[in-house]
């Protein structure tokens, strides 16, 4: 997305310098000499970012800001003020201006601040799109996502749901395997029947058989009354055996017999009970490895595994993060207003590998909603293992942010120079105004690699190939 920037500055040198730097950085820029001209230009066209001097003839920066806020509240506004007029900037920040910079300023600092505004705008757009997508979902929708892997999963569910065939759902812990099972049930002909889920890790080996198949009074010590099992509770509907790989071998044999005969026999009973149950199993374990190890029956595996569905981990569906974050914020935020998140917090979420998958993300957003108390979610509101060393709420956070921003700006300049020169390093060094030795050192520092570029020297008239940098 190429952001549109409007500069309002009466100092010609400052105006031209800002315009050239922003255009070089990839922004679409227009520049005017005073606030009145800026208002006229704004009436013809909407801009994403406006950079305005505070003291200008005809219409000053504060009045221009108020005009923009009234007619285009989504536009980000940065004010430029002389060093002696910092109070103007402070007053503007209190009034809601997004940022300010004081003259004389370093152009690198200006670009960092503008990129910060652009990052916030990108994030706002992403989260706005996510809200619109969520609003368009049916109230009963439980599977949130529009990434290719999630769309493929949803299509797979639509395919297997109308049948009565057994299904094994594979996926890491926290990926939402039970949600997938519920979606299969709700899209099946059994949707009006019960859906019963059993976590097979929740019961010791001595109790799981009675839990699944039921028991008669007096069947074992403590069985003071008759109890129907989970299979009977799911009669006419669907039974999910979550973490089926944890079922002990003795119960696996009885489960196989249930699948073969369509009946159960409660503990202590002497008559089989007929059932009409669709069985869905889920596991994060590799059942074939368990078969090889002798801990899972091969004949049971083939009985269960008529159809198979794999639920992707969150790290393979990062395009769904805006949707999921908005979904969990809406669930936990209640009436606290729309989701607002600092770009640094968003970057931390995007970088995190989420070994706990969607369940871990759900916990993180709940954590952030509670700590932010209805305000913008900052990186300090995220759990420690997600924010890492990127923000700890201590007093030196602001200094660390500037350091990181400068490093990122330098990295982007290096990449831009390589792209501009098709990866020819001596030309890139000349473009940046540094020696080739310095360029090599900076490329190494920022871990920028060039996998498809030949080594070039000053005599390079060879065929130039594009640089693959990252």
| pTM value surpassing 0.85 | no
Return the CATH fold of 148-312. Rossmann fold (3.40.50)
Q: Distance between CA 156 and CA 311 in Å, rounded?
A: 11
| Through-space distance between the first and last CA atoms of the chain, rounded to whole angstroms | 19
Q: Give the angle subtended at the CA of 104 by the CAs of 98 and 110, to the nearest 5°.
A: 40
From the list 3, 114, 122, 109, the residue with the least C-alpha distance to 52 is: 114
The pLDDT, as a whole number, for residue 85 is 57
Distances (CA, A) of 82 to 11, 102, 130, 322, 434: 12, 5, 40, 39, 31
The pLDDT, as a whole number, for residue 418 is 79
The pLDDT, as a whole number, for residue 234 is 93
From the list 160, 153, 150, 196, the residue with the least C-alpha distance to 327 is: 150
Q: In what order do the strands lie in the sheet with 195-199?
A: 195-199, 238-242, 278-283, 167-170, 307-310
Delimit the domains of the chain by residue range: 4-134, 148-312, 315-387, 395-470
The pLDDT, as a whole number, for residue 154 is 92
SS3 338: coil
Q: Do the domains at 4-134 and 148-312 have one common CATH topology?
A: yes
Q: Which CATH number fits domain 4-134: 3.60.21.10, 3.40.50.2300, 3.30.43.10, 3.40.190.10?
A: 3.40.50.2300
The pLDDT, as a whole number, for residue 404 is 57
Token representation of residue 188: 């099946």
- The label of the residue with tokens 């255009």 reads 23
User: Which class in CATH covers the domain with range 395-470?
Assistant: mainly alpha
Tens digit of pLDDT at every position of the chain (470 positions): 689 999 999 888 888 999 999 999 899 999 999 889 999 998 898 899 999 988 888 888 888 888 998 888 889 999 888 755 556 656 666 777 888 888 888 888 889 889 989 988 888 888 888 777 777 666 456 788 888 999 999 999 999 999 999 999 999 999 999 999 999 999 999 999 999 999 998 888 778 888 888 767 655 556 667 678 899 999 999 999 999 999 999 899 989 989 998 888 877 666 778 889 999 999 999 999 999 999 999 999 999 999 999 999 999 998 899 999 999 998 888 767 778 888 888 889 988 999 999 999 999 999 999 998 888 899 999 999 998 755 444 433 434 444 555 666 677 678 777 777 777 888 888 877 788 878 887 887 777 765 433 333 333 333 333 222 22
Q: Give the angle subtended at the CA of 120 by the CAs of 126 and 335, to the nearest 5°.
A: 65
Radius of gyration of the chain (CA): 31
Q: Directed axis angle between helix 107-136 and helix 12-24, to 10°? A: 50
Q: Taking the domain 315-387, which CATH number applies?
A: 1.10.8.60
Q: Distance between CA 199 and CA 217 in Å, rounded?
A: 24
């Amino acid at each position: 997305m190429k952001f549109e920037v409007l500069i309002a500055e009466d100092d010609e040198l400052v105006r031209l310098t800002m315009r050239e730097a922003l255009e070089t950085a990839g922004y679409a820029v227009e520049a005017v000499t005073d606030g009145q001209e800026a208002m006229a230009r704004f009436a013809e066209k909407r801009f994403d970012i406006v950079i305005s001097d505070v003291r200008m003839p005809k219409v000053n920066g504060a009045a221009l800001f108020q005009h923009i806020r009234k007619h285009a509240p989504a536009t980000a506004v940065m004010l430029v003020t002389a060093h002696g007029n910092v109070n103007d900037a402070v007053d503007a920040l209190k009034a809601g201006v997004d940022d300010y910079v004081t003259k004389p300023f370093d152009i690198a600092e200006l670009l960092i601040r503008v990129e910060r505004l652009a990052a916030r705008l990108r994030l706002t757009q992403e989260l706005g799109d996510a809200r619109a997508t969520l609003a368009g979902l049916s109230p009963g929708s439980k599977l949130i996502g529009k990434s290719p892997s999630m769309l493929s999963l949803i299509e797979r569910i639509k395919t297997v749901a109308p049948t009565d065939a057994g299904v094994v759902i594979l996926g890491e812990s926290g990926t939402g395997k039970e949600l997938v099972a519920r979606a299969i049930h709700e899209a099946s002909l059994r949707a009006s029947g019960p859906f019963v889920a059993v976590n097979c890790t929740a019961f010791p080996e001595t109790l799981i058989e009675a839990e699944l198949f039921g028991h008669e009074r007096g069947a074992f010590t403590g069985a003071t009354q008759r109890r129907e099992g989970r299979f009977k509770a799911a009669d006419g509907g669907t039974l999910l055996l979550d973490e089926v790989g944890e079922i002990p071998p003795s119960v696996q044999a009885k489960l196989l017999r249930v699948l073969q005969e369509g009946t159960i026999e409660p503990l202590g009973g002497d008559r089989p009970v007929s059932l009409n149950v669709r069985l869905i199993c889920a596991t994060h374990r590799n059942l074939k490895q368990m078969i090889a190890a002798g801990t899972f029956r091969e004949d049971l595996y083939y009985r269960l595994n008529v159809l198979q569905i794999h639920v992707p981990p969150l790290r393979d569906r990062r395009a769904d993060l805006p949707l999921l974050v908005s979904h969990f914020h809406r669930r936990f935020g209640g009436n606290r207003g729309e989701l607002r998140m600092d770009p640094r917090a968003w970057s931390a979420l995007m970088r995190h590998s989420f070994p706990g998958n969607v369940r871990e993300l759900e916990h993180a957003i709940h954590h952030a909603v509670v700590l932010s108390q209805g305000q913008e979610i900052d990186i300090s509101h995220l759990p420690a293992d997600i924010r890492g060393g990127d923000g700890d709420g201590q007093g030196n956070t602001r200094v660390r942010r500037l350091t990181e921003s400068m490093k990122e700006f330098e990295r982007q300049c290096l990449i831009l120079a390589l792209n501009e020169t098709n990866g020819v390093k001596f030309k890139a060094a000349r473009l940046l105004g540094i020696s080739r030795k310095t360029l090599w050192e900076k490329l190494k520092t920022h871990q920028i690699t060039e996998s498809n570029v030949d080594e070039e020297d000053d005599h390079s008239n060879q065929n130039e190939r594009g640089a693959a940098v990252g």
